Structure 1
Amino acid sequence: MTTLVRPFVHRPHASMRLLCLPHAGGGASAYRGWATELPDGIELWAVQPPGREDRVMTPPLAHMDDLLNDLVPAVVPLLDRPFALFGHSMGAVVAWELARALQQLEAGSPVRLFVSGSVPPQIRDVPERPLHTLSDDELCDRLREWGATPEAVLADPELMALFLPVIRADLAVVESRVHRTEPLLTCPVTAYGGTEDGSVGSDVLARWGEVTTGPSNCRMFPGDHFFPHSARSAVLADITDRLGADSLYGKAGTA
């Protein structure tokens, strides 16, 4: 399969679609396990950016505008029923930009945007030396510090030759992005964080409320930066509850 956006389960009678965007270096498979835990009323879709997993032969994209230019036309055909967006880390910023692009085009607005493990875009600082400009050795050292890449992968030159261009491009998508404050979203925004993730605390997560005119809230779950996987059942239960409220009460949802 080479498609940018793909379903993990076909539920033709589902009342809502949930589209998930992965973290930097990640792929659609990060959400594969979610399909069986979501109720039949939610159809799970995921974004598979180029350069990874089954799209390894397609060059990765290093600019937000290029990614959006591919994403928007791929997503529009899915908007024939209510939809929500979920993005983790880098994926949260991409999901926010996607929601704004769809809203501006009047193609549709998500019933809720879920952002996870991410500093909100209006306060995101790019390091004096952007991470995507580091040498291969320096970037490997940084990946080792983050602890998200298995040591067996970091020690394998052939695997790293495939992985480094992907993570470098993903970092560039966020670091080269020019921030525009407008337009604000109109949908509810829910921000999630991990209690052991020192880079994104609840006070920072709360500022995601500044990107929308709708209601917003944040919730913390036990775990580090990758809590959506370690605390998956609790995260999915909260998503399900909120989407149930949104489908009952309309776009305004509940905070």
Structure 2
Amino acid sequence: MPNSPVVPTIRRRRLGVTLKRLRNDAGLTLDEAAGVMGWKAPKLSKIENAVQSIRPAEVTGLLETYGVSDPEVFTALEGLARDAGKKGWWQTYGDVVFLPYADYISLETDAQQIWEWSPLLVPGLLQTAAYARETIAGATTSRTTEEVGALVEVRQARQAILSKPEGALEFWAILHEAALHQRFAIRPNTMRDQLRRLLEVSELPNVTLQVMPLDSASHPGLVGGFSLVHFPGPMPNVVLLENVMGATYVEGGNDTVHFTKAFERIRATALPVQDSLALIARLEEGHRT
């Protein structure tokens, strides 16, 4: 029986893109690859375009057809097929976590490394609950107080990936100094506690922080922030771009390579790590005087 059409998820899209790339690398057409599997070409096309599911055993057959021999590729793609429709903890918050945000949490959960350039805010993975509440409430145009509270809980829960006993996410964040001068009039201690949180989390071996100084040279980050998500194995990187309307994803190696180069230039322009932490410490001390 053919697989039923499914809602494209970020995992299925990543799997489809990777399988298509491997087929092209093998020099096979849709008809040729599908024929080896005993399928019609439209089925394989739907799988590559993330509108039809695929079982892990079928992934194995495709990889063998494409001449793939790396066991890590088999493990990664079979796992992606197995987990494509898997529900995550964030789906408990389905009333407030809409699909684009759920997609990103799924990416974050699968990621090996994330590079984030954040010119306006402290990254969500590093935010205190109070800072998260202020920024979520300030940014929303339609959320209720209860929904804001739920989103704060989600943001805090996401941070567990930084301290997992095994396989903790490697996180490299670059913040603009201007974001560290934010003041919250109603709750003046919010920024002081947030700066302390940055200093605390910087002690984790898998977290690297840098600050872009106010007097920096020009760099590619002047056009806006982004998150570059890296995965193990053969899966291509994914870039997240955020705005007031939600999230936009850039997928595929040819497009994401521009963001890799941009981040490397931003990193080179920012203060070195120790100088960045010293600046954060001075700013935190200023809140105590």
* Pairwise same-fold verdict (TM > 0.5): no
- Give the TM-score normalised by the residue count of structure 1: 0.32
Q: TM-score, normalised by structure 2?
A: 0.29
Query: Which structure: greater helix fraction?
Result: 2
Report which of the two structures shows the higher radius of gyration computed on alpha carbons: 2
